[in-house]
Chains A and B, each alone.
Chain A
Amino acid sequence: MTTVLEVRDLRVVFGGVTAVDGVSFSVDDGQLLGLIGPNGAGKTTVMRSITGIVRPTSGNILLDGQRVTGLPIHRRMRRGLALSQQLVRPFREMSVIENVAFAAGYRKTGNPLKSLVTFDWTQERARATELLAMVEISSYADADTGSVPLGVLKRLEVARALALDPKVLLLDEPLAGLNSNEAVTLGDTIKRLNGDGLTVVLIEHNLGEVMRICPRLVVLDNGRKIGDGPAQEVMADPDVRAAYLGTGAGGSHAAA
């Protein structure tokens, strides 16, 4: 297995508060990794450091073995990252399919001069049609984004991220705000995408779904990594249980 994404000794300090403290983990090609932890654990800050929204105080992010730490957001995305945002943010002036087709046109929008002399949307629309089918919202293709339910918009976020043909898909709480049925079906979709070979990093609060679909977990607490490994083993760890349940549920480690 080759490592696609590596977070190396990441440290993020916001005005004296250490949000992430020396976190390292790597993601292999084809893995589905759940990045979990209680509120304030630093998951979102880690995700934002990977995408470039947050500039780490120290440490590195490597994509395909190349350091991307100093690169602006858009260049990281063009190197093979894609993000499905926690709060859905479709372009309101574009229909559902246009949102995906626009993202799929990333080769045409890489350079303003090229974009000025390019008009054809045929390939991008075809690709968008495939992706909408993949996330099962084909029937909403021509709908206005203002008039479709949240569950559809969450899937639209995923389809739009997939349109960038990413090496690693980052999903920031894709299930938040969905009812349990919707969460299960979107969980299935994520699992299927991973089964097709896509590498996925999933941040999610819905622990039931995480345990159901993620073979491997990385657990953060107070900005530090406290667990990393096969999901069942990690969740059986007393430290992880203590951090998660906040009850001191743990045995010797927690007490120590």
Chain B
Amino acid sequence: MEDLLNAYDMSLIRTAAVMVIMALSLNLITGFCGQISLGHAAFMGVGAYTSVVLSINGVDFILGTLAGMALAGILGILVGLTSLRVRHDFLAITTMGIVFLFSGIVEQSSFLGDTDGLSGYPHPAYGDFAYMVMTILLAIAVMLLSIYIRRSWMGATFKSIGDDEDTARILGIDVSLYKLAAFVMGTSLAGLAGSLYAHQTTIIQAENFGFIESITVLSMVVFGGVGSIAGVTVAAIVLTLLPLWSQFIGDYKLLFYGGLLFLMMRFAPYGLAGIVVRLQRLVFRRTGDTG
């Protein structure tokens, strides 16, 4: 197996697996709980920078990753507190501010490498193949976690809040506490994605975790179908690999994602998952007609 894949293939698969984790983590907040976030990449950045700074200081990769997840989760609670005060478009603008705040702080901090970023930090000694397998397994674990949450009473409660939070309150739901739970889970998983990303590349810079990356992740969630675990997973893989395979899409990445976001919102608001459901209905109706 190891011989079949060259270093480039493995890096593609690793990147796709990291983006699956990233997209599913945003899906917990936006898809399950209905809270839009335009700044999700900042939490990935917090995870990346925390684990890299710790590994430079001799801390083990796993411990560093856990610390990155914890710090991203704590900051997630702070942003989540904003979501308790503002809704919808205001929340979008507030969360957008987070990425700029993140870049601003990183680019002004010498211990975070200023605008040059951090490079030459120690990597885990697993080897490329083992690292790839680990990221795939973690991506599968996050998928299973998403399915688990969706099926639990917490999943149903998220669904009610995403649908109509005022009515959820009338039914005795502590909406604030559930929103914070969604933010803390989603942002700490983004921290995990950040640490995995940082340790499979050789340099991290603030721009890797900026507004464009946030929009990229959001377009994965929208393209896949907000809330759909399978749809978002497929979308994360396809949208990660497309720009790497096609030079043209790679060159016009922002235009591509922006256009995609617009087209999906306008014509297929339920994303890939919605298109599949519509096709299924169409096929069943056809077979029903003829049968």
Please give the residue numbers on chain A whose beta carbons come within 8 Å of chain B beta carbons, in ascending order: 51, 72-75, 77-78, 82-83, 85, 89, 91-94, 102-103, 105-106, 108-110, 112, 114-119, 160, 164
Contacts and interface: CB of A to CB of B under 8 A. Distances in A.
Contacts of B152: 115-119
Interface residues of B, number: 23
Contacts of A72: 169, 174
Interface in B137-163: 149, 151-154, 156-157, 159-160, 163
Nearest to B182: A112
B153 A105 contact: yes
Nearest to A88: B167
- Interface pairs A-B: 3 shortest CB-CB: A77-B172, A115-B153, A115-B154
21 contacts: A74-B173, A77-B169, A77-B172, A83-B170, A85-B167, A89-B166, A92-B163, A94-B159, A94-B160, A94-B163, A102-B160, A106-B172, A110-B172, A112-B154, A112-B174, A112-B178, A112-B181, A116-B154, A117-B152, A119-B151, A160-B171
Interface in B162-206: 163-164, 166-167, 169-175, 177-178, 181
Contacts of A116: 149, 152-154, 181
A72 B181 CA distance: 19
A77 B164 CA distance: 17
B159 A93 contact: yes
A160 to B, nearest CB: 7
Contacts of B151: 119
A85 B169 CA distance: 12
B149 A74 contact: no
B171 A103 contact: yes
A112 B181 CA distance: 7
A77 B170 contact: yes
Nearest to B227: A93
Interface string B109-152: 00000000000000000000000000000000000000001011
A94 B163 CA distance: 10
A95 to B, nearest CB: 12
Contact of B164 (A82, A89, A106): A89
B170 A119 contact: no
Contact of A89 (B159, B167, B172, B177): B167
B169 A109 contact: no
A160 B173 CA distance: 13
Contacts of B173: 74, 109
